Structure 1
């Protein structure tokens, strides 16, 4: 796969079905890395999916009509930054540069909106994700928490100053 043929675009609320399709695939593929579950996502209504797209900048990467990955950025004025969440790349697109394009989309969004930082969390054991974020200038903050309430899995916070 040639990274130059990959398109990264911002989804609109009218594209809720694309968001739903990609999110369900992500939760089925790597449930251990997300704070929500496949069952929770399957229970969401069209209105829920549309509302989510109004509360965030949800990017999708695609090539030749196939969705290859997604990431979201949520603006947080209190932290003067953008929270990078819900990062996922399809198995067939891993190692092709899709993840770099998605991270860059959120960083570019934060810069364009005049924010001073982008932060994120990654699950313990997700070495590939940590390497991706380190490559883009993120560093661990020392903060950590549970991936989901009631579960023992830990996630670590990283930040990139802009």
Structure 2
């Protein structure tokens, strides 16, 4: 796959079915790295999916009609920053640079919005994700918590000052 053929674009609320399809694939592929479950996503209505797209910048990576990954940024005025969430790259696109393009899309969106930082969480054991974020200027903050209430899996916070 040639990275120059990869397109990163922002989804609109009318593209909720694309968002749903990619999110379901992500949750089925790597459920251990997400705070929500496939069952929760399957229970969402069209209205839920549309509303989610109105409250975030949801980017999608595509090449030759194939959906290769997604990431979202949600502005948080209390932290004067953007929360990077829901990062996923399709297995066939891992190692091709898609992840870096998606992270860059959120960072650029945050800068354009005048934010001072982007932060995220990654699940313990997801060393590939941590290395990706480190390459893009994120550092651990020392904050950690559970991926989901009632589960033993830990996630770590990282921040990128803009």
TM-score (norm 1): 1.00
* Offset at residue 136 of structure 1 (A): 0.2
- The alignment partner of 1:52 has SS state of helix
Q: Match of 2:28? A: 28
Unaligned ranges ≥5, structure 2: none
Structure 1 gaps of 5+ residues are none
Which residue is equivalent to 2:147? 147
Partner SS for 1:74: strand
Aligned length: 162
The two structures have a TM-score, normalised by structure 2, of 1.00
Match of 1:99 in 2: 99
- State the distance in 2 between where 1:39 and 1:116 align: 35
Alpha-carbon offset, residue 29 of structure 1: 0.0
Separation of aligned partners in 2, 1:30 and 1:55: 24
CA distance in 1, matches of 2:3, 2:42: 31
User: What is the alpha-carbon distance in structure 2 between the residues aligned to residue 78 and residue 118 of structure 1?
Assistant: 13
Shift of 1:111: 0.3
2:123 equivalent to 1:123: yes
Measured against aligned partners, the alpha-carbon deviations of 1:36-86 in whole angstroms (never above 9, x if no partner) come to: 000000000000000000010000000000000000000001100000000
| Runs of 4+ more than 2 Å apart | none
2:9 aligns with 9
**Residues 67-78 of structure 1: pairs in structure 2 closer than 5 A:** 67-78=67-78
Cα separation, 2, equivalents of 1:40 and 1:68: 22
